Structure 1
Amino acid sequence: MARWPWYIQVGLIYLAARLVSGCIFVAVARHQGPSPWGDGEPDYLNFINIWDAEWYHRIYSGGYPAEIPRDPSGDALTNAWAFYPLFPLLARVLTFVTGLPWVIAAPLLATVAGLGAMLVIYKLFRLVDTRMRRSSSRLHGPEDSALIGERRTSHENALWGVALVSTFPVSAILQVPYAESLHLLLLAASLYLLLRRDYLTAIPVVLLMCLARPTGVPFALLVAAHLLLRIRHRRSDPLPLPEAVKATLLMVVGGVGALAWPLIAWWVTGDIRAYTETEAAWRGGDGIVPFLPWVESAQRLFGDVLGWFAPLLLLAAVVVYLDSAAVRRLGTDLRLWCGAYMLYLLAVLHPQTSTFRLLLPLFPLALAAVYVSKSRAYRCSVIVLFTLLQIVWVAWLWLWDELPGGGDYPP
């Protein structure tokens, strides 16, 4: 199999991982009792079409509400505006073309998008220069590629990286009707084009990414840092004015893309706070205050005093980790992305059980995990551990098991 084309090898790794995840879903479904989505022991397709998949199905079937639903006191209720439109739109296109119902078309779209994501992630990992500490000059042709090709990530290491992403503890989400797999594909493509400095081609990809999941802000932050570093190193790494303009345009597009969905919600509903109040409703009705949810969660866990220091310790641990030897081998741009995305999560995320799923965009760290050791025993052990944690994630969070006070922890 080592002689087969790289895309066949990547595809087999991904499909094997999805088969394992499918078996986990089927096994856990046998323990599912009656839930808000139906009777107990559902089949595979019905079991993976629960939780947020139901909201995507509502959008697919009836679109978004023209007005924000509110309770008698005027507070916004949970509604579809919290979910971005690209995935249900593409699912509708797929059903129109194939005639397949949502229950089949949506998981198929998610699974195929996940396969595309793994193919792009492999190409992205192969592009990583593991030796040079500065940004290399732009490739202008096959001659330049041949000169520095030996410094790039090896085929074997890139495959291991794909294997770790494919078996990540929440990777089962890549085959359910969520937007994660589609977003992962667009994010990997955006990072790939940024590393190649193909800024103009990246613009439509970034715009689509911003309509799949809300990651425009950290990506714009990444491009800003990328551009500043290029300006700083312009003597050793020339930055022609046209290229600087293209990079600036990409940064602006990332910022505009981050505002696109809130502006669309405002335009449709006539309520300037339609999106922000909807997000607040999904958080229990509290307003969105940057960084505060982490402090409040830490205070519930560690008390009023230590709760103020826990987020700072978490931030310090992130900084130390991103400066570790294995992560430094990812190169500047991928490290900047991980840092920007973690900072974004710290600023806007309300920490809960869904946080595990939201860590998937940190997929470049899978390659850093590969660099920790060349030992196959170590790498296989990580895959086994990830697979066991998939069982934990599906059985703990995907399985509906009503809490004493009602509801259940979301995946």
Structure 2
Amino acid sequence: MAERRLRTAASVAGTVAAVYFSARLVTTVFFWIAAELSGTHSRFGPDATISSLAMGWDAQWYWVIADQGYPSQLPVDDTGRVTQNAWAFLPLFPWTARALGTVLGGYPTGAIVLAAVAGYAASVVFFLLLRDRLGDTAALWAVVFFANGPLAAMFQMGYAESLGLLWLFLALWALLRRRFVWMYPLVVLLGFTRPGVLAFALLLGLYGIHRWIRRRDDPLPGSHIAHIIALGALATIVGFAWQVIAGLATGDPSAYLETELAWRRDWVGSEEQFVPFAGFVTAARVWFGIWGLPPIWGPIALVILVVGAAAVLIRSSQVRRLGPEIRLWGASYLVYLLAVFFPQSSTFRLLLPLSPVAAAVAVPRSRWWRIGVLVICLAGQWVWIHEMLALGDTFYRIP
């Protein structure tokens, strides 16, 4: 039995590796073309290389954290407003990449290798997460779409996304298997890698309600109740911990919030304050104005989008195949984004944690459907790399 499990694990690891690293070769080609196309107006200039593209944009902030740490005094502009600084980024990725870089010859190499390896590990867990619900073939196709998707460049850039996805997929897998003890360290790791652990706290609350409603068909022992409550409390504490740490380190209790608002104020002005759920409404007006459309249409379009997403989560037979845990995660994360996020050009990147829900496109259909989805994924990946890296010359081309 143990030998058969070992062979099965090796087979899964090998098959996913073939898919994942083939995808990385495609992305590398896209990076090379983007570097060749980079010109004088690009952020990366005419001498761009694959390495410079991989360490662009927010990867620079992580490098600053690894090299200099976090500021003890918040930087401010002439009006006294807090400006963009490292407190907006969580520490686990840059610290791990720095440690890895001491062995591999420098931080950039450590960051890129960490992102790539974490992306592979996340792909393996992604397959395991989906296999029991979708079957081996559909789960493998979901990995194909995930590894080649429009945001696949993240697996080769000095960003924390792939490491955050690894912790998230492991936590969801543990939730599906009801391995609650395993989730305690995963919640902490997730909370100090990428923002979003508060969405996981909401998931646990909704999951607890779901289990309670179905307790006659699916018994809910006291130990499960205790774990769900404890994990929800832990995720909530971890979700606010970085704000407390930033406040203690800088002497300003609002350090983290003001830092996050520094990015938002570049769009809407220096007087912007944080109000839950207001960011998306404001941004909808801003974007429709940028597109030359009546700003009042923005909130209307937002309502239609939210209703459409809710309908997909509730009624789509393909999404229902994923099971209640993944559907509840999708709902929780969307509510979290609506509550705290101001949609900018990085919106697509912040949708990556919805990958388990997006796996519904791999639910058994025709071979041509899957080939078509793969073509769309690759086309989207090239468009993203071209816009954000080859060009990267204006406010809506910031990943």
Unaligned 5+ runs, structure 2: 1-7
SS at match of 1:178: coil
Residue 134 of structure 1 corresponds to: none
Q: Deviations over 1:250-299 (max 9, x none)?
A: 11111111111111111111110000000000112422222222222322
Amino acid at match of 1:108: V
Cα displacement (A) at 1:408: 6.0
Residue 222 of structure 1 corresponds to: 203
Residue 304 of structure 2 corresponds to: 313
Whether contact under 8 Å (2:202, 2:232) holds in the other structure is yes
Residue 6 of structure 1 corresponds to: 12
Separation in structure 2 between the aligned mates of residue 392 and residue 105 of structure 1, nearest angstrom: 27
Name the CA shift for 1:158/1:127 in 2 (closer, same or farther; >3 Å): same
Q: TM-score, normalised by structure 2?
A: 0.91
Residue 119 of structure 2 corresponds to: 114
Q: Deviations over 1:35-83 (max 9, x none)?
A: 7866423221122111111111100101000011111221101000001
Whether contact under 8 Å (2:43, 2:392) holds in the other structure is no
Separation in structure 2 between the aligned mates of residue 36 and residue 83 of structure 1, nearest angstrom: 25
Residue 368 of structure 1 corresponds to: 360
Separation in structure 1 between the aligned mates of residue 20 and residue 11 of structure 2, nearest angstrom: 15
Residue 277 of structure 2 corresponds to: 291
Whether contact under 8 Å (1:175, 1:181) holds in the other structure is no
Separation in structure 2 between the aligned mates of residue 95 and residue 36 of structure 1, nearest angstrom: 28
Equivalent residues, number: 381
Matches within 5 A, 1:71-150: 71-96=77-102, 98-128=103-133
Residue 60 of structure 1 corresponds to: 66
Residue 332 of structure 2 corresponds to: 340
Cα displacement (A) at 1:305: 3.6
Residue 137 of structure 1 corresponds to: none
Q: Deviations over 1:280-330 (max 9, x none)?
A: 001124222222222223224143543332221111111111121111111
Establish whether residue 377 from structure 1 lines up as the match of residue 368 from structure 2. yes
Name the CA shift for 1:110/1:273 in 2 (closer, same or farther; >3 Å): same
Amino acid at match of 1:339: A
Separation in structure 2 between the aligned mates of residue 315 and residue 408 of structure 1, nearest angstrom: 23
Report sequence identity in percent.
37
Range that drifts further, 195-204 or 57-66:
195-204
Separation in structure 1 between the aligned mates of residue 113 and residue 273 of structure 2, nearest angstrom: 36
SS at match of 2:274: coil
Whether contact under 8 Å (1:400, 1:408) holds in the other structure is no
Establish whether residue 398 from structure 1 lines up as the match of residue 384 from structure 2. no
Name the CA shift for 1:268/1:157 in 2 (closer, same or farther; >3 Å): same
Amino acid at match of 2:339: A
Name the CA shift for 1:230/1:158 in 2 (closer, same or farther; >3 Å): same
Separation in structure 2 between the aligned mates of residue 363 and residue 38 of structure 1, nearest angstrom: 29
Establish whether residue 277 from structure 1 lines up as the match of residue 232 from structure 2. no
Separation in structure 2 between the aligned mates of residue 376 and residue 240 of structure 1, nearest angstrom: 43
Amino acid at match of 1:294: F
Separation in structure 2 between the aligned mates of residue 194 and residue 35 of structure 1, nearest angstrom: 47
Amino acid at match of 2:106: P
Amino acid at match of 1:296: T
Separation in structure 2 between the aligned mates of residue 3 and residue 122 of structure 1, nearest angstrom: 11
Amino acid at match of 1:399: A
Separation in structure 1 between the aligned mates of residue 150 and residue 347 of structure 2, nearest angstrom: 12
SS at match of 2:346: helix
SS at match of 1:30: helix
Amino acid at match of 2:244: L
Amino acid at match of 1:263: V
Range that drifts further, 313-322 or 33-42:
33-42
Cα displacement (A) at 1:398: 2.3
Tell me how large the CA RMSD over aligned residues is: 1.8
Whether contact under 8 Å (1:224, 1:251) holds in the other structure is yes
Separation in structure 1 between the aligned mates of residue 35 and residue 275 of structure 2, nearest angstrom: 38
Separation in structure 1 between the aligned mates of residue 71 and residue 48 of structure 2, nearest angstrom: 30
Amino acid at match of 1:299: R
Matches within 5 A, 1:101-250: 101-128=106-133, 153-250=134-231
Cα displacement (A) at 1:163: 0.7
Separation in structure 1 between the aligned mates of residue 54 and residue 104 of structure 2, nearest angstrom: 20
Amino acid at match of 2:350: L
